[in-house]
Amino acid sequence: MKNNNLPELRFSSFDGEWNQHKLSDLCDEFRSGKSIKAQDIRDEGRYPVLGGNGLRGYTNTYNHDGIYALIGRQGALCGNMNISYGKAYFTEHAIAVKGNENNDTRFLFYLLGKMNLGQYSGQSAQPGLAVNKLIELTSFIPTRAEQTKISDFFKQLDETIALHHQELATLKQTKQGFLQKMFPKEGESLPELRFPGFIDEWVERKLGEISFKVKDKNLGGIYSETLTNSAELGIINQREFFDKDISNKKNLGGYYVVRPDDFVYNPRISNLAPVGPIKRNKLGRIGVISPLYYVFRTHGVDNTYLESYFSSTSWHEFMKLNGDSGARSDRFAIKDSVFAEMPIPFPSLVEQTKIGEFFKQIDKTISLHQQELDALQQTKKAFLQKMFV
């Protein structure tokens, strides 16, 4: 029979039940920070300014010193958790929490994160957390020694996750660097960086010379899987991306049929895709996509090479010169006939294949690192569920 006063997973050196306490009994400090003028927050300064979402900038004064758990207290950041070490300025958008002599602040940081405090926000137009309500919440707590053991464990796990984050970011930056150097700059016929053994000049082809627009409609509703084009994730099942169906099954007959290796241009702009993304269908199956998208099928070009080119920003200038954001600020407008005029740098097929395989390997490495990071984050989530009551 399960004991509700004990965690499911525990370090072997500890025994005895955990005791229930109010949060107010665990802390020397549990209150909101103070407001700070926007002009006093700078890009550089002696002390970090921390709000509900972590670092906001820097200033030359501080109002807290030591280890503190920070709870976001307003809007969408209600319940968001951060931790601070040393001198810092906490704004009114964060609740500062410091354990008393019997309780480890780092343990409280993980405990409060697991408690999902955002659920206690006021149900108003601007949700907020009230300190006087939070301090009345209760939780089961072990001894100080066990708290420290648990917080040390999660701190080490967090450091491992942060290291993987950094490695992944470095890999992505490295890829972007290669993308900038392995395709010719505007007005040039050769890239800055090239594999040895290739000496021929690159030529230029128009997109319309190496592809044609797909106009096949899903007449009769033969295909039912609706796809979307995500700037971050590429061609993906619409339900998988939005967690629901956006398309209406009755209208699927008017959707374009997207076959494996077809390219799709999504005119929706974002920070990741300032002129909209172009992605290749690598799902290995046929789907359909909204007629708002431009679907094209290639010939006489290495698709992996072309996909890599569209991962760069080299083609953005053509788009900016020949299109605009249109009537809607979130969509880029360019005529199909103009889009087909896009210049594509064109080395020999052998060199295209070499470049494509190079970026394919980089993408594979990035994917493996992402999987490792996801696995670590899931592992942490599982431990949080099992190591707290």
Please give the domain boundaries of the chain with CATH numbers for all domains. 19-141 (3.90.220.20), 143-199+347-389 (1.10.287.1120), 203-345 (3.90.220.20)
Angstrom distance (rounded) from CA 312 to CA 308: 7
pLDDT for the residue 185: 86
Angstrom distance (rounded) from CA 27 to CA 134: 12
Alpha-carbon torsion (305, 311, 316, 317), positive or negative = negative
Look at residue 242 and tell me whether its pLDDT is greater than 70: no
Q: What is the per-residue DSSP string for 39-72?
A: GG-BSS-SEEEEETTEEEEEES--SEES-EEEEE
pLDDT for the residue 125: 63
pLDDT for the residue 157: 97
Residue partners of 93: CB distance under 8 A and separation at least 6: 33, 51, 52, 72, 73, 74, 77
Among the residue ranges 117-126, 256-265, 330-339, the one predicted with the least confidence is: 117-126
pLDDT for the residue 186: 80
Look at residue 116 and tell me whether its pLDDT is greater than 80: yes
Q: How far is CA 205 from CA 277, 308, 345, in A?
A: 20, 16, 7
Residue 192 has a CB neighbour count (10 Å cut-off) of 11
pLDDT digits 0-9 by tens, 281-335:
999 999 999 999 999 999 999 999 999 999 999 999 999 999 876 556 788 999 9
Q: What is the mean pLDDT of the chain?
A: 93
Look at residue 272 and tell me whether its pLDDT is greater than 60: yes
Angstrom distance (rounded) from CA 90 to CA 53: 11
Taken as a whole, the chain contains a residue count of: 389
Find tokens 């707290």 and name the residue.
Answer: 388
List strand residue ranges (DSSP E) for the chain, in order.
19-22, 27-32, 47-51, 54-59, 64-65, 68-72, 81-84, 87-90, 94-99, 138-141, 203-206, 211-213, 227-230, 234-237, 256-258, 263-265, 278-280, 287-289, 294-298, 343-346
For residue 189, the one-letter residue type is S
pLDDT for the residue 244: 55
Look at residue 1 and tell me whether its pLDDT is greater than 60: no
For residue 186, the one-letter residue type is E
pLDDT for the residue 196: 95
pLDDT for the residue 136: 96
pLDDT for the residue 74: 87
Q: Three-state SS for 361? A: helix
Which token pair is 65? 């010193």
Percent of the chain with pLDDT over 70: 95
Residue partners of 62: CB distance under 8 A and separation at least 6: 46, 47, 87, 88, 89
**Cα-based angle 341, 342, 343 (whole degrees, multiple of 5):** 110
Look at residue 248 and tell me whether its pLDDT is greater than 80: no
Q: 29: closest CA among 59, 60, 71, 58?
A: 71
Look at residue 346 and tell me whether its pLDDT is greater than 60: yes
Backbone dihedral angles phi then psi of residue 305, each to the nearest 5 degrees: -65, -50
pLDDT for the residue 264: 98
Look at residue 207 and tell me whether its pLDDT is greater than 70: yes
pLDDT for the residue 60: 93
pLDDT digits 0-9 by tens, 157-191:
999 999 999 999 999 999 999 999 999 988 888 99
Separation of CA 52 from chain center:
19
DSSP state of 231: T
pLDDT for the residue 245: 61
**Whole-prediction pTM value?**
0.84
List, in sequence order, every residue forming a beta bridge with 230; answer none if it has no partner. 234
CB distance 300 to 210 below 8 Å: yes
Q: Which of 327 and 249 is assigned the larger pLDDT?
A: 249
CB distance 236 to 277 below 8 Å: no
Find tokens 């010193």 and name the residue.
Answer: 65
